[in-house]
Amino acid sequence: MIYADNAATTKMSEAAVNTMVSLIGDTYGNPSSLYAFGQKAKEALEKAREEVAEAIGANPREILFTSGGSEADNQALISAAKLGEKKGKKHIISTAFEHHAILHTLKKLEEEGFEVTLLPVHENGIVRPEEVEAAIKEDTALVTVMYANNEIGTIQPIREIGAICRKHGVLFHTDAVQAVGHIKVNVEEDNIDLLSASGHKFHGPKGTGFLYAKKGIKLTNLIEGGAQERGKRAGTENVPGIAAMATALKESVENLDAYAAKLTPIRDKIIAGLKEIPHSAINGDEESRVPSNINFCFEGIEGESLLLLLDDKGIAASSGSACTSGSLDPSHVLLAIGRVHDVAHGSLRLSLGEDITDEDADYIIKSVKDVVEYLRGFSPVWRDLVAGKGNFIL
C-alpha cells in the first residue's frame, strides 16, 4: 500500500513510538507532584518543551502544550481577540482558505461583535503581503494567515506579512500545522507572535500539539482548572504524548533538508506525469509549495469515485482535507483559488511521506491516469463535453 495522505495524518516515527512507550510504562507520576516520582515526569515534560522551542527558534517559556492544532488555533485567536478588545480593537484579518479551526473560530468571534476581513488567495493560492497591509485598519487587533495550506500545499510569504504586522503594531498568528516539521520555520526570523502546530502532522502522536506565544502576550484560557502550563491550560499533562511529539519534531527538523531533497524531485515527477492527463490542472503554485504536496483537478469526474478506485489499487489519497471528505460541499480552498464547483469536485490530493520511492511515483502516475480515463468512460458530464455540449473549463 502507498500511503499518500500525510497531510491528513502521519504514521508515528519509530523514535517517537519508543519515547512514548518508555514513558507510558514507568513514568506515570503526575508532573505536578513534588516527590521524585512526579519530578521524573516533570523532567520529561520540560525536556520536551526545550526540544520543541529549539525546533522553531523560541524560548521554552513561550511554548504551551495543547491537545493539537485545533486547540492551539482556537486559543491563539481568542487570546488575540480579547487583547485587542481591551484596546478597543475589534478587527481581524485572515484569508479565505484557512483551516476550519481558524474559520469557525473567526465565525464565533464575528458573532461576538468582531469584524473579520478574509483576504483572497488568488489563482496561485498565495496571499499578497501588500493586500494584508492595505487591509490593516486603526482597529485591527490580529492578522492570522496559515504558513502552508493543508489542501494545496502552498507556502505563504509569512516573513513579509509578519514584518508588516510588526510595523503596524498588529499581532500576527500563523497556523503552521502543515509547515512545522516540513519546512524551515523560525518564529524570530519570521516575525511571528503566535503559532500553532500539531504533533500528528509530523510523525508524532494524535492529540498532541503546541501554541507558541511570544513573551509578553497574555493568553486567555480555554480550559480552567489547575495551574498546569503556567496557568494557561489546566489539566494533567499528556506526558508520554508530549515527549513523543518532541522526539518526532526534533527528528523531522534535523532531516528537513534531506527530506526536501528526496521528496521534491518525486513530487515534480508526479506533477509532470499527471499534467499529461487531458483537461487536468494542478492546484496551487508549483514553486512555493511544500515538498510533499500534489493537488490536481480533473474535469468530468467525481473526486470521491477517484479515491475509492485508487484505494482498490492500494493508494490512500484524499480529495481535499479529511474534514470535508464525506460532505458534498466542494473544498472551500479550491473555490478560494477560483475553481468552479464542477471542477472542484474532481480533485485529488496526494501528500507524500518521506518513505515514498521512485517506483511508487510511477505506480501513482499510471494508476491515476487509468482511473481518470476509466471514470470518464461512463461520466455523462464528460460525454457531453466531448460531444461539444458545453465547454471545457480546464
Q: Which residues bind ligand PLP (CB under 6 A)?
A: 68-70, 73, 99, 101, 146, 150, 175, 177-178, 198, 200-201, 209
Separation of CA 140 from chain center? 25
Q: How far, in Å, CA of 353 to CA of 109, rounded? A: 36
Contact between 74 and 99 under an 8 Å Cβ cutoff? The reply is no
For residue 384, the minimal CB distance to ligand PLP (Å) is 36
DSSP state of 155: B
For residue 292, the minimal CB distance to ligand PLP (Å) is 12
Catalytic, out of 83, 118, 222, 323: 323
For residue 318, the minimal CB distance to ligand PLP (Å) is 11
DSSP structure string for 275-302? HTSTTEEE-S-SSSB-TTEEEEEETTS-
For residue 385, the minimal CB distance to ligand PLP (Å) is 33
In the numeric block, the cell 471514470 is attached to: 375
Cell readout for 68 is 493539537
User: Which residue, 42 or 203, is less far from ligand PLP as judged by CB?
Assistant: 203
10 Å CB burial of residue 325 (0-12, 13-18, 19+) is: middle
User: Which residue, 4 or 309, is less far from ligand PLP as judged by CB?
Assistant: 4
For residue 181, the minimal CB distance to ligand PLP (Å) is 12
Q: How far, in Å, CA of 71 to CA of 206, rounded? A: 13
SS3 194: strand
Known catalytic residue at 297: no
User: Which residue, 99 or 345, is less far from ligand PLP as judged by CB?
Assistant: 99
User: Which residue, 68 or 303, is less far from ligand PLP as judged by CB?
Assistant: 68
User: Which residue, 69 or 346, is less far from ligand PLP as judged by CB?
Assistant: 69
Contact between 325 and 318 under an 8 Å Cβ cutoff? The reply is yes
List active site positions. 323
